[in-house]
Every structure is written in C-alpha cells, then in structure tokens.
C-alpha cells in the first residue's frame, strides 16, 4: 500500500436519520446541476429529432405531397431565432434544400408555409379570399402598426381620438369592400389616375429645377437640402446625401397630389415622421409599447402620434370644408385634394367614424415609404453603370425636355423642365427596364395569407418537368417572400448584378418593350399594390427629370460608386448608409 494513500476526506455522516438527510444535502447540488443541464439538452435534442415534418405523399394520383418542415432546436420558439437573425439566409438555404421552393417554418405558435416557386405563388394568389385570406392579416397589421397605444397620461379629451382600432373593427368590416373598391377606382382608373399624375408631374416640373439652391447658409437652403446635409461647394456645385435628397423630393410632389398642397405646408416634418414610423414597424408588429426602454421604440411611437394628430386636424378641416363651415385660412381652399382622399373622407363621415378611427395613416404611409426609396436606388444603380446615363438621356430626350431659360438683360431664370409621363412609360424601354431591375434588386416585399381551408397548390407543368402539387393545411399561414425568388440564380443570371437590359424583350418586328416576367415587387392577389401604376409613372418621371436636369458624381476621396447594403423595412429596402454625391446643373447648348 502506498504510504501517501489517503482515504478520501470523510464527510463522516452521523448515523441514522440525520445521517441520511446529511448525505442527500451533500449530493443535491450536484444532482440538481446535472438535472438542470441534462433536461434542457435532452429537450433541445429531442425537439431537433422530432420536429422535422417530412414531405409525404398525400395523393399519389395527383402527385400531391405535404409540405416539408425543417427541423428546429427550440420548442415553443421553433425557427424564431434564426428567422429574426437573418431571414433571407434561413429562407434561401431552405429553398435550396427543398424540392420545389416550398417548405414550412415554425414561428412561435404558428406554422408558415414559405413559397418562392413562381408557379406555386401564382396558384396561391388566384385562390378565393374565403380560402386564402388576406383580411385577417390586414386587420392585424392595422391594429398593431397604425393604432396609437394610449398611455394613462393622455387627457380624456385626447382619449376619444385614440379609440382606433378595436371599437372601429365592426365599422371597418362593414365598409371593407367599399374601401377596397375605392383603391382600385381612384388609384388605378381614369380619369382619377391621370388627375393625380398630372398634379405629381406639375410638382416634379417645378421642384426638380429647385432641387439644389446653391446657397451657402442652411437658412437659405430648401428643407430637403438641409435634411440631406447639403454642403455648399461653389455657386454651381453642391455636395449632398443622395438617398435623403431623393426620398424627400418624391414625397414633396406625391403628398400634395394626394392630400392637397396645404397638408405638407401645415406639416413640414411629416415625411420624416413617416420615415421614423416606418423604421419602427417591426416594434409595432411585435406589440412593443411606447414605454419600452429602447429609444428607437419610443421615437417610432412619438413619430406615429404626430402623424395621427396631423391627420386628425386634416380631417377636421375636411369636415368643415364639406359642411360649408368656416375653415382656418391656413388650409387654403382644399380644392386640390385628390378624389381618393375625398371619397374616403365621405365614407368615414357617412359611417360615423371618429377622427381617430379614420385610417388615412395607412394610405399616407403606403404612398411614401416605398416609392420614395425606389427613386434613390434606381438613380444610384443607373449612375453606377458606365455609359448608361448617356444612353438613357438619349432615350428620354423627347419626353423629359429642359427648355432654354428666358433672359431679361443679363439675368436668366432657371431652365424649365417639361415631362411627358405617358411617353416615358410607353416609349422608353431602357428606362423602364432599369426601373424594374432596381425594383428586383432593392425590394423585399412579402405577401402573407391565412389558410381558412386545406388547399392544394400546383407548380404547373414546365418544359421537362411534371407538375407537383402541395397541400397546405387550414389554420396555417402561407408566406411569399418575393425577394427570395427575385434573387434566385435559377431564374435570374448573376442575380447580384444590376443588368440594365434584363427586362427588355424584342418582338418579331424588332420592336423593343419590357416584360416584368416573374418578379413581384408589388405582391399579388387581392392585396396587390393598388399604387403600382401611379408609382411606376411618378418614379420614372422623377428619375428622368433629374437625369435630364442635373449631373451627379460620387463625392469623396475615392469618388467611385459603391452600392450600399440593404436593410429590410417595408417593401423597398433602406440603404445601411447614405451616398454622398456632388451635383451640378448640366451644361446645355445655350450655355456655350
Ligand atoms: C415602388 C413603389 C411601391 C412598391 C414596391 C409597393 C409595394 C407594395 C406591396 C408589396 C404591397 C403588398 C402586396 C401584397 O400584400 O401582396 C403593397 C400594397 C399597397 N400599396 Fe404599394 N408599393 C409601392 C407604391 C405605392 C404607392 C405610391 C401607393 C399609393 C398610395 C401604394 C398603395 C398601396 C396600397 C393602397 C396597398 C394595399 C393594397 C390592398 O391591400 O388592397 N403603393 N404595395
């Protein structure tokens, strides 16, 4: 026996009952620790093992299968963590592992069937509302995103305005169809579409020549220059942030076209409140209240409240206007308010909606958040391709005309801009193709539907491939992240590259036009964007006007175009940083 052998230190237990209690007490921390560690690990491993839902044949005759669900690790959370962390990565990888671009994810308590195959999406979009419903999703978004959450601090006087949406749900349900029909009638059909476009184009023709003031002091600059951090370089050159500038330019012309010119004059900060509100959309949808200790959440709530109050005052003015009551002179005559806004106002008033229930905030938000950013991406991509600006200027020359200024003595006014929006949309295929390519690359729109019944959707037969059908289950959701398809190398060669001619097609007579193909930047089905025609015309007109009027170069030491990475907000992404540029007025033949 070794000399140095020592028996283990004895926790010499006293004999009997006390001894037993003593040993349990000593063993307990270790056992508890083991249990604490082993139980969750076992649970997580078991969840991972059992959670995969294999795709099984449902009906062999119809080649119908159930949807494959990826395995996940955490019970109750499902794929929630990886979805929040990087949804595009999770969904792109799963799409590549799935047979036909369809798979299921578990997000908390709900199951989402994620569909990116264009044939399957077409099928979902063509289903009846009673089977694949959008209305409950819309109500949910409206409830969470556009209602203000009351705090006990608010006065009773204010409270009556903030009763949206629970009390108003029945009123909305009763008028849902009529409101939807208004969107189609007044945003997509003539003469209303043409009237709103005319107001927008008049704004573009007036504002584009004033886009840069070449003033040294911020006090003398236009508001959009100040927001875009304009820096005076010389009387012919300014350095400025392109995204901030273009975003405001679009809002400066589209908001007056919808709400009349006095609305923006009364609420000069409202565009920026809408941007701040849009940034807060994920917090609203997650139900985070104003007092959440995260500054961005509070900022978003405050911005949304300010937008609410602006619209409440506006609706009071509209009430007075239609009732023939005296109107505060700052509102002007309100004669230039769009037919859509007036028709919605009438319906709200006739059905007894209180001011707080009138959901105009959703339309104002839809008008501003996507188109305003798209003009920035479009312009940025076009400027970054060598030689493209010259080609586009040649194409748009008959429809975006800069006229020689009138001179009196030695003083000339600024050259005038004339835009023919119809010509740009119909006779400028290269411009339109670059617009579609900008939409393909910079928008991340999702369409979500609730399944009210089991439904079978089919890929449709394609050349060399038989149709495959999938059964989606009642109570689950079907989610279509259109960006996953729009960046899929199977459908778009070099999907990460901006290719100006990607959407051009030539017919048998050699006529060149554009074809959108399978991209869906505006979603689809019953909730298909109702502003898509208006958006296309206003975006093409603003981009053409700016290209015709201004020279733009990258600023900074390296002075090369670097397209920023994207951050998902609404349909069109936000750049992670702005783009600093130098802007000069173009030289024309009369300048020589
Ligand atoms: C480039 C600009 C735009 C993009 C990319 C865009 C995209 C979208 C998307 C993805 C949807 C949801 C579709 C779905 O659920 O499947 C939508 C809905 C909508 N958009 Fe746009 N949009 C743009 C501009 C506009 C403009 C300028 C307006 C004018 C007010 C507008 C009005 C609407 C409306 C009213 C809806 C809701 C339609 C409904 O639920 O019936 N959009 N948009």
Q: Is 135 touching ligand 1 by the criterion CB < 6 Å?
A: no
Separation CA 335–CA 500 (nearest Å): 41
Q: Is 531 touching ligand 1 by the criterion CB < 6 Å?
A: yes
Is residue 150 over pLDDT 50? no
Q: Considering only CA atoms, which residue is closest to atom 1 of ligand 1?
A: 371
* DSSP element (H, E) containing 115: strand 110-115
Q: Is 311 touching ligand 1 by the criterion CB < 6 Å?
A: no
Percent of the chain whose pLDDT exceeds 90: 65
Separation CA 65–CA 470 (nearest Å): 5
pLDDT digits (tens, 9 = 90+) for 29-42: 677 777 788 888 89
Q: What pairs with residue 458 in β-bridges? A: 469
Considering only 238-252, 290-304, 391-405, which range has the smallest mean pLDDT? Answer: 290-304
User: Could you give the ipTM of this predicted complex?
Assistant: 0.99
- pLDDT band for position 2 (cuts 50, 70, 90): very low
Pocket test for ligand 1, best of 196, 531, 542 (most atoms within 8 A of CB): 531
Separation CA 433–CA 530 (nearest Å): 21
pLDDT digits (tens, 9 = 90+) for 280-317: 888 888 778 888 888 989 999 999 999 989 999 999 99
Separation CA 214–CA 235 (nearest Å): 5
Question: Which atom of ligand 1 is the closest one to the Cα of 254?
Answer: 27
Q: Is 575 touching ligand 1 by the criterion CB < 6 Å?
A: no
Per-residue pLDDT, averaged over 414-429, amounts to: 96
Q: Pick the residue with more confidence: 516 or 556?
A: 516
Per-residue pLDDT, averaged over 340-355, amounts to: 93
For residue 138, report the distance from its CA to the centre of ligand 1, in Å.
Answer: 13
Query: Which residues touch 162 (CB under 8 Å, ≥6 apart)?
Result: 147, 148, 150, 154, 308, 356
Is residue 457 over pLDDT 60? yes
Residue 467: its pLDDT value, please?
A: 84
Read off the pTM.
Answer: 0.89
Considering only 128-142, 194-208, 463-477, 498-512, which range has the smallest mean pLDDT? Answer: 128-142
Residue 416: its pLDDT value, please?
A: 94
Question: Which atom of ligand 1 is the closest one to the Cα of 362?
Answer: 35
Q: Which of 59-68, 107-116, 246-255, 347-356 has the highest mean pLDDT?
A: 246-255
Residue 310: its pLDDT value, please?
A: 93
Is residue 155 over pLDDT 90? no
Question: Which atom of ligand 1 is the closest one to the Cα of 526?
Answer: 41
Q: Considering only CA atoms, which residue is closest to atom 19 of ligand 1?
A: 529
Q: Do 304 and 277 form a contact (C-beta atoms < 8 A)?
A: yes
Is residue 132 over pLDDT 50? yes
Q: Do 205 and 401 form a contact (C-beta atoms < 8 A)?
A: no
Q: Pick the residue with more confidence: 49 or 154?
A: 49
Q: Is 124 touching ligand 1 by the criterion CB < 6 Å?
A: no
Residue 125: its pLDDT value, please?
A: 93
How far, in Å, are 305, 307, 448 from residue 165 at the CA level?
Answer: 14, 16, 21
Residue ranges of domains in the chain, CATH in brackets: 137-148+157-591 (1.10.630.10)
Per-residue pLDDT, averaged over 275-282, amounts to: 90
Is residue 242 over pLDDT 90? yes
Residue 39: its pLDDT value, please?
A: 86
Q: Is 78 touching ligand 1 by the criterion CB < 6 Å?
A: no
Per-residue pLDDT, averaged over 227-247, amounts to: 96
Per-residue pLDDT, averaged over 333-356, amounts to: 92
Q: Is 521 touching ligand 1 by the criterion CB < 6 Å?
A: yes
Is residue 17 over pLDDT 60? no
Is residue 160 over pLDDT 50? no
Q: What is the mean pLDDT of the chain?
A: 88
For residue 271, report the distance from its CA to the centre of ligand 1, in Å.
Answer: 17
- Where does residue 284 rank: exposed (0-12), middle (13-18), buried (19+ CB within 10 A)? buried
Q: Is 373 touching ligand 1 by the criterion CB < 6 Å?
A: no
- pLDDT band for position 360 (cuts 50, 70, 90): confident
For residue 570, report the distance from its CA to the centre of ligand 1, in Å.
Answer: 10
Residue indicated by tokens 């989606």: 472
Is residue 21 over pLDDT 70? no
Spell out where 309-466 has E strands: 400-403, 407-408, 411-412, 416-419, 446-451, 455-458
Q: Is 529 touching ligand 1 by the criterion CB < 6 Å?
A: yes
Q: What pairs with residue 418 in β-bridges? A: 401
Separation CA 143–CA 284 (nearest Å): 9
Is residue 153 over pLDDT 70? no
Q: Is 353 touching ligand 1 by the criterion CB < 6 Å?
A: no
Per-residue pLDDT, averaged over 272-277, amounts to: 95
- pLDDT band for position 173 (cuts 50, 70, 90): confident
Count, residues in the chain: 592
For residue 527, report the distance from its CA to the centre of ligand 1, in Å.
Answer: 8
Q: Is 34 annotated as a binding residue?
A: no
Is residue 104 over pLDDT 60? yes
Residue 408: its pLDDT value, please?
A: 79
Residue indicated by tokens 């679009």: 250
Separation CA 135–CA 129 (nearest Å): 8
Q: Helices 360-369 and 339-350 sit at what angle, rounded to 10 degrees? A: 160
Pocket test for ligand 1, best of 522, 533, 572 (most atoms within 8 A of CB): 522
For residue 142, report the distance from its CA to the centre of ligand 1, in Å.
Answer: 14
Question: Which atom of ligand 1 is the closest one to the Cα of 520?
Answer: 10
Residue 488: its pLDDT value, please?
A: 94
Considering only 328-337, 451-460, 491-500, which range has the smallest mean pLDDT? Answer: 328-337
Q: Pick the residue with more confidence: 245 or 22?
A: 245
What are the structure tokens assigned to 133, written together? 């419903």
Q: Is 363 touching ligand 1 by the criterion CB < 6 Å?
A: yes
Residue 5: its pLDDT value, please?
A: 40
Is residue 581 over pLDDT 90? yes
Per-residue pLDDT, averaged over 376-380, amounts to: 98
């Amino acid at each position: 026996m070794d000399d140095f052998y020592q028996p283990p230190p004895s926790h010499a237990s006293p004999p009997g009952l006390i001894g037993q209690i003593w040993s349990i007490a000593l063993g307990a921390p270790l056992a508890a620790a083991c249990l604490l560690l082993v139980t969750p690990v076992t649970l997580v491993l078991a969840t991972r093992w059992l959670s995969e839902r294999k795709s099984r044949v449902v009906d062999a005759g119809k080649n119908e299968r159930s949807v494959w669900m990826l395995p996940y690790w955490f019970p109750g959370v499902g794929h929630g963590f990886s979805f929040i962390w990087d949804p595009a990565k999770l969904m792109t990888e799963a799409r590549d592992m799935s047979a036909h671009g369809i798979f299921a994810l578990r997000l908390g308590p709900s199951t989402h069937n994620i569909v990116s195959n264009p044939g399957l999406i077409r099928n979902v979009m063509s289903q009846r509302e009673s089977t694949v419903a959008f209305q409950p999703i819309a109500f949910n978004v409206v409830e969470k995103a556009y209602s203000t959450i009351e705090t006990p601090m608010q006065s009773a006087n204010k409270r009556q305005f903030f009763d949206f949406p629970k009390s108003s749900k029945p009123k909305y349900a009763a008028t849902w169809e009529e409101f939807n029909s208004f969107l189609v009638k007044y945003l997509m059909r003539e003469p209303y579409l043409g009237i709103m476009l005319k107001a927008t184009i008049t704004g573009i023709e007036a504002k584009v020549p004033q886009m840069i003031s070449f003033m040294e002091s911020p006090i003398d600059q236009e508001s959009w220059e100040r927001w875009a951090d304009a820096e005076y370089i010389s009387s012919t050159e300014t350095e400025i942030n392109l995204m901030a500038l273009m975003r405001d330019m679009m809002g400066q012309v589209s908001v007056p076209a919808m709400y009349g010119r006095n609305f923006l004059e009364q609420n000069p900060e409202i565009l920026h409140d809408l941007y701040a509100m849009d940034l807060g959309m994920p917090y609203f949808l997650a139900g985070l209240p104003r007092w959440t200790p995260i500054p961005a959440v509070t900022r978003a709530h405050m911005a949304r409240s300010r937008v609410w109050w602006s619209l409440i005052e506006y609706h009071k003015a509209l009430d007075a206007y239609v009732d023939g009551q005296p109107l505060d002179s700052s509102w002007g005559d309100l004669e230039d308010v769009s037919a859509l806004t007036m028709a919605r106002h009438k319906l709200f008033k006739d059905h007894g909606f209180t001011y707080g229930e009138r959901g105009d905030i959703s339309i104002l938000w839809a008008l501003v958040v996507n188109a305003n950013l798209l003009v920035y991406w479009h312009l940025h991509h076009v400027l970054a391709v060598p030689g493209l600006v010259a080609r586009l200027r040649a194409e748009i020359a008959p429809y975006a005309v800069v006229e020689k200024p009138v001179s009196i003595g030695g003083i000339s006014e600024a050259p005038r801009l004339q835009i023919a929006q119809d010509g740009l949309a119909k006779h400028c295929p290269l411009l339109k193709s670059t617009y579609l390519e900008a939409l393909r690359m910079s928008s991340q729109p999702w369409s979500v539907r609730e399944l009210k019944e089991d439904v079978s959707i089919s890929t449709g037969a394609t050349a060399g491939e038989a149709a495959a059908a999938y059964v989606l289950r009642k109570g689950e959701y079907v989610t279509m992240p259109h960006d996953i398809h729009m960046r899929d190398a199977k459908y778009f060669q070099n999907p990460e590259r901006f290719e100006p001619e990607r959407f051009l097609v030539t017919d048998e007579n050699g006529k060149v036009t554009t074809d959108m193909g399978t991209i869906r930047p505006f979603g689809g089905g019953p909730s298909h964007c109702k502003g898509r025609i208006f958006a296309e015309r206003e975006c093409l007109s603003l981009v053409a006007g700016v290209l015709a009027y201004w020279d733009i170069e990258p600023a900074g030491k390296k002075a090369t175009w670097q397209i920023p990475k994207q951050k998902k907000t609404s349909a069109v992404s936000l750049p992670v940083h702005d783009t600093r540029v130098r802007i000069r007025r173009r030289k024309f033949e009369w300048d020589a």
